[in-house]
Amino acid sequence: MTLPNLTLVLGGAASGKSAYAERLVLQGTSDPVYIATAQVFDDEMAAKVSRHRDLRGDGWTTIEEPINVAGALEKCQPDQAVLIDCATLWLTNIMLNQHDLAGETAGLRTALRRCSCPVVIVSNEVGQGIVPDNALSRNFRNAQGTLNQVIAADAGLVVAVMAGLPLALKGTLP
């Protein structure tokens, strides 16, 4: 199976989006790369990261990069396929570290367009719930929606995952 240059996999928390994205990447290469954007600050996150590693299994090259995902993509080779998990945590890291969101997003978009191998990005769909009660949360929700739209515009395949089931929003499921 040939993956498009860019695939976006969206879903809510615990929807099965990461597992689906991993299967896509493994169908596209025997040399998968996992760019992990999570930062571990507590035991709960440490357990989640460990669980993801265990489920993913061996055979992946893992690059832990919470902010400079564009730089990590430059290291990837044409015979690889890349999973970025996830855009939501990347956005959180950018916003909480008060980086230039527009500049970082433009840099990521450029890196995705230049990447020599297929890339699958996991991202949360956070705009379907209630309106958050504070400005930071509302700003984050809006920024996440904008980021998802930017990535989706360039993607050849956009998939929504709910209850572990994929639904093609753009392109055709493999």
Tell me the catalytic residues: 52
Exposed (0-12), middle (13-18) or buried (19+): which is 26, by Cβ within 10 Å?
middle
* Contact yes or no for 120/155 (Cβ under 8 A): no
CB 36 within 8 A of CB 85: yes
Name the residue with tokens 């753009």: 170
Report how far residue 154's alpha carbon sits from residue 10's, in angstroms, rounded to the nearest whole number.
14
What would you measure as the largest C-alpha separation in the chain, in angstroms?
A: 46
Q: Provide the residue type at 116 as one letter.
A: S
